[in-house]
């Protein structure tokens, strides 16, 4: 039924290694961003390290307003960059969101345990309305306390807990939806290793999903 283990979708952030550069956009989605300290690489999160400045960009040939996930599964999702940043408690008030998110009882004006900011760049396989394939790269920014089942899912895809499973960490792939071009920071060619996976995953998805050939969208049966 398109299930997968929680551990495969939400790997625990690795211990800090060397500090690494992140784009200015890594700050824009975080509250109280002036209180962030040093970005540190979560090396164990990265499945394929890639220099996006050197990776080619290609134009979308059909339906340039958006791309569609080639299938609902998460099998071809890759993390290319992963960083975390601990807030400076001295620069936050107890009422600031990075403090409130942990739902701790505060004493006086102290922020006892500020949350952690996380920044990722991931990619997955998408197609346009003519069936041309692409690798779409997207930024994912979230506070650890806001992490949910959908936080690390590739744009255009959904996932949720399996209500029929006796195991708490089993999930079901939901349907797909079109992703606006502006959601991606880069759109490039698929890897050669992607090509044989696409028809296999499309065929596999038809066992648990219906497919609309006109919209190229999947819906769970």
pLDDT at position 10: 29
- Residue 16: strand, helix, or coil: coil
pLDDT at position 48: 93
pLDDT at position 12: 26
pLDDT for 1-26, tens place per residue? 443 332 233 232 222 233 346 777 77
Tokens in use for 17? Answer: 């290694």
pLDDT at position 96: 87
Q: Which one-letter DSSP state was computed for residue 25?
A: H
Mean pLDDT of residues grouped by 10 in the chain (221 residues)? 33 32 76 91 91 94 90 94 91 86 60 87 96 95 79 86 64 90 96 96 96 94 86
Residue 146: φ, ψ to 5°: -95, 0
111-35-155-131 Cα dihedral, nearest 10 degrees? -170
Residue with tokens 């499945």: 47
> How far does CA 193 lie from the centroid of its chain?
21
pLDDT at position 170: 66
Q: Can you say whether the dihedral through the CA atoms of 81, 201, 156, 142 is positive or negative?
A: negative
What string of DSSP letters covers 118-168? Answer: EEEEEEEEEE-TT--EEEEEEEEEEEGGG--TTTTSPTTEEEEE-TT-SST
Nearest to 75 by CA among 177, 190, 153: 153
pLDDT at position 149: 64
Rounded Cα distance between 186 and 59, Å, is 10
Helix (H) / strand (E) containing 41: strand 40-41
C-beta of residue 149 within 8 angstroms of C-beta of residue 161: yes
Residue with tokens 């089942």: 149
- Residue 208: strand, helix, or coil: coil
Neighbours of 56 (CB within 10 A): 9
pLDDT at position 15: 28
pLDDT at position 167: 60
pLDDT for 24-52, tens place per residue? 777 778 999 999 998 999 998 899 999 89
Residue 212 gets the label, from left (phi > 0), alpha (psi -120 to 50) or beta, of beta
């Amino acid at each position: 039924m398109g299930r997968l283990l929680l551990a495969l979708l939400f790997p625990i952030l690795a211990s800090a290694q060397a500090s690494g550069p992140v784009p200015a956009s890594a700050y824009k989605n975080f509250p109280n961003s002036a209180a962030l300290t040093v970005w540190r690489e979560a090396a164990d999160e990265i499945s394929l390290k890639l220099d996006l400045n050197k990776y080619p960009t290609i134009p979308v040939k059909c339906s340039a307003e958006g791309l569609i996930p080639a299938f609902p599964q998460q099998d071809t999702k890759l993390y290319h960059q992963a960083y975390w940043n601990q807030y400076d408690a001295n620069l936050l008030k107890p009422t600031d969101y990075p403090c409130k998110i942990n739902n701790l009882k505060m004493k006086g004006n102290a922020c006892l345990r500020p949350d952690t900011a996380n920044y990722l760049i991931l990619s997955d396989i998408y197609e346009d309305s003519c069936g041309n394939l692409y690798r779409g790269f997207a930024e994912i920014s979230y506070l650890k306390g806001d992490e949910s089942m959908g936080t690390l899912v590739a744009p255009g895809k959904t996932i949720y807990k399996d209500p029929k499973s006796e195991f708490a960490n089993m999930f079901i792939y939901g349907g797909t939806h079109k992703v606006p071009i502006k959601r991606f920071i880069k759109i490039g060619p698929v890897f050669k290793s992607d090509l044989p996976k696409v028809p296999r995953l499309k065929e596999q998805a038809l066992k648990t999903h219906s497919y609309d050939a006109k919209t190229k969208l999947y819906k769970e049966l």
